[in-house]
Amino acid sequence: MTAATLARILHHERVLPVVAVALVAALAWAYLLAGAGTMQDMDGMLMPMSAGPWTAAHALIMLCMWVVMMVAMMLPSALPMILLHATIARRNTAAGGPGPAVALFALGYLAVWSLFSIAAVALQYLLERAALLSPMMETTSIVLAGGTLIAAGVYQWTPVKSACLAHCQSPLDFVLAHWRSGRLGALRMGIRHGAYCVGCCWALMLLLFVGGVMNLAWIVGLAVYVLVEKLTPAGHWISRATGVVFVAWGVATLLAPYLALNLA
């Protein structure tokens, strides 16, 4: 096989996954921009749904919102792993061709984030029951906001965070350690990679309750941060530096009322 032929093969292997991921992510972002089903028409204006009784329909809307949000935020960061899997799957006839294998890998990855979304909806329900969320799904408790920021910052320094981030940053190492053949193997690999990804980013996702689950600027900011943390060589140090910032931010949030009282 000549170098030119190999380059063409690699090019085609990468184009389809890139287009597919871009299309799915674009649709997910479009759904979020449209309100993710959480907006209601009030006198000709779209306003966030206010907290109210949790019916099955309301819970389903919230779950769809969280799942789509996780797809929009997390799927692009998995693209390097998806591309590597596509390249290897093409040469693995037991996987049934690259298309089904890559699709099953991505399905497994998103299935894990869907499970996280179920947990997030349950937490949202509990916070609303305790009257701790605004209509924009932002915590109204200074203590909860500060505590969440501090917890997220501390987690950035834990061995679990470092290990999960290392797996997310090194697709080749992940493949060498966890490759499984066949379509079921691709699904299992996607689930495992998704588990590492959740282990890396779950605390960051809980910060959505601090900035507002429906705050698009906050969502975009976290999504960009995840990409930088996972895809840049300095991601490990960025993670730790951000941890310090989160802890300082959380402490400042907790102390702000007392400082304001003393200065008044």
Tens-place pLDDT, residues 59-117: 999 999 999 999 999 999 999 999 888 888 777 654 445 578 888 999 999 999 999 99
Q: What is the mean pLDDT of the chain?
A: 85
Q: Report how far Cα 158 is from the mean position of its chain's Cα atoms.
A: 19
Classify 47 as helix, strand or coil. strand
pLDDT confidence of 154, banded at 50, 70, 90? very high
42: phi > 0 → left, psi -120 to 50 → alpha, else beta; which? beta
What is the separation, in whole angstroms, between the first and last Cα of the chain? 77
Count the helices and strands in the chain (H runs, E runs): 11, 2
DSSP state of 158: S
Extract the tokens encoding 8: 């063409």
Tens digits of residue pLDDT in 11-56: 556 677 888 899 999 999 999 988 777 655 444 434 555 556 788 8
Extract the tokens encoding 173: 């190492």
* pTM (2 d.p.): 0.86
d(CA 62, CA 125): 10
Is residue 69 a contact partner of residue 28, using CB atoms and an 8 Å limit? yes
d(CA 180, CA 186): 6
The count of other CB atoms within 10 Å of the CB of residue 151 is 15
DSSP state of 131: T
130: pLDDT strictly greater than 70? yes
User: Taking the CA of residue 125 as centre, how many other CA atoms within 13 Å lie in the half-sphere pointing to its CB?
Assistant: 17
d(CA 170, CA 183): 22
Residue-level pLDDT at 46: 41
